Homo-oligomer: A and B are copies of this chain.
Amino acid sequence: MREVAIVGIGMTKFGELWDMSFREMGIQAGLMAMQDAKISAEEIDALYVGNMSAGRYIEQEHVAALMADYSGLARDHIPAIRIEAAGASGGLALRQAYLAIASGMHDAVVVGGAEKMTDVGDAISNKIQSSASDQQWESVFGATSPSLHAMIARRHMHEYGTTREQLAEVAVKNHRHGALNPFAQFQKEIDIKTVLRAGMVAEPLGMFDCAPNSDGAAALVLCSMERARKYTDSPVRILASAQASDTLALHSRADICTFEATRYAARRAYRQAGRAPQEIDVAEVHDATAFCEIYQVEMLGFCERGRGGPFVESGATSLGGRVPVNTSGGLVSKGHPVGATGLSMVAELAEQLRGEAGDRQVAGARVALAENGGGVVGFDEAACAVTILEGPGARV
């Protein structure tokens, strides 16, 4: 397989974008990525689009063809492919785009993700999000994303002594990071009292522990490594693009605090990249709720099983810590337009590796990891994509 590089990144602000349609957001992110790469439309061989549920949010399926059309890319009749895997739609779209280049089929590809969630009310959005879990055995009985997720958090607290305050620390830290990100939905620091006093969504998860409904889009330009120097002096190498699955229904799992999709995807990614967890300088993980970050740092091998709570509490995942996590603000602060999320993670990391992350910059970041999950139990992990990136200065 050929080596693949990221040569362009783009994203809209995340938030309640009432003056932008779904297609406008997607096109804006895509064109920003192409301008960043200084690549022309004629050089793009294919378009991949991650999107969870435009069919239900805006009554529009077939969104890859739509994006190709309205961005002008359909003029050359390039292939346009939509990938859906709930919250992991963006990460899976990236992996298919990666394979299209690694295989030798295509040389340069745009991969974007978008979701328009605020055209419907919150109750309807909650119902749409529930369609990521098992309709026949979970959502039909009224189980929602946060409620399933809260069950796991409670079990983790029981099993490992994780505290409510540790969950809240993640929310505080990610809002602190998000305050430094001009693209984040919430750019405001909050203190732990605010998190703990906020209204409950599903005990123990309060309002500031949960990702909001968001509109937004993110995009990348990928090309073969051999072509990358044509477009940029600072290509970001994709060392690994791995994926794994798990049961959709929570009740099918032997242990609800073990996320096998993340563990398997991470193991495959580390092996493909030839890297160990200790070599990761900066990471973005799928904190659909603040609690997710606690178990994801365990599953990714950044700390031992059950030690996620103390690990995040120690500051290890803060800017300046051992492995800064969610420097973008993560889903809880940056926002979570579902189909865009996985690509916005990789866009953040590519900025970090290019040394362009401004106030959020992790000094000397060379190797980065993105973990993007989709599915059951709130939001995570019947599908998981793990991407490992290497910065332009890493191998001289």
The residues of A with any CB-CB pair to B shorter than 8 Å are 1, 21, 23, 47, 52-53, 55-56, 58-66, 68-70, 73-74, 77-86, 92, 95-96, 99-100, 102-105, 127-128, 131-136, 139, 243-249, 252, 260-261, 264-265, 374-376, 382-383
Contact = CB atoms under 8 A, between A and B. Distances in A.
Given A245-B77, A247-B74, A59 B375 contact: no
7 contacts: A59-B131, A63-B84, A64-B245, A65-B376, A74-B382, A83-B83, A103-B103
Contacts of A56: 55-56
Nearest to A66: B248
Interface of A is mostly: mixed
B69 A249 contact: yes
With most chain B CB atoms within 10 A of its CB, the pick from A81, A136, A374 is A81
Nearest to A73: B245
With most chain B CB atoms within 10 A of its CB, the pick from A78, A102, A135, A261 is A135
Nearest to A78: B245
Contacts of A69: 134, 245-249, 252, 382
Contacts of A61: 52-53, 84, 86, 131-132
A246 B77 contact: yes
A62 B84 contact: yes
A96 B102 CA distance: 13
Contacts of A245: 47, 64-65, 68-69, 73-74, 77-80
A23 B375 CA distance: 16
Nearest to A60: B135
Given A69-B252, A99-B105, A136-B21, A244 B62 contact: no
A240 to B, nearest CB: 11
A105 B105 CA distance: 13
Given A64-B85, A245-B65, A135 B58 contact: yes
A56 B57 CA distance: 10
Contact of A260 (B63, B70, B77): B77
B244 A382 contact: no
Given A84-B84, A244-B78, A246-B74, A62 B375 contact: yes
Contacts of A244: 77-79
A93 to B, nearest CB: 9
A47 B245 CA distance: 10
B21 A382 contact: no
Given A53-B55, A59-B135, A80-B245, A85 B99 contact: no
A194 to B, nearest CB: 33
A62 B99 contact: no
A333 B55 CA distance: 27
Contact of A81 (B66, B85, B382): B85
Contacts of A70: 248
A81 B96 contact: yes
A55 B66 CA distance: 19
Contacts of A128: 55
Contacts of A96: 81, 96, 99
A386 to B, nearest CB: 11
A386 B64 CA distance: 18
Contacts of A53: 55, 61
Contacts of A127: 59
Given A65-B245, A82-B85, A249-B69, A77 B264 contact: yes
A127 B61 CA distance: 11
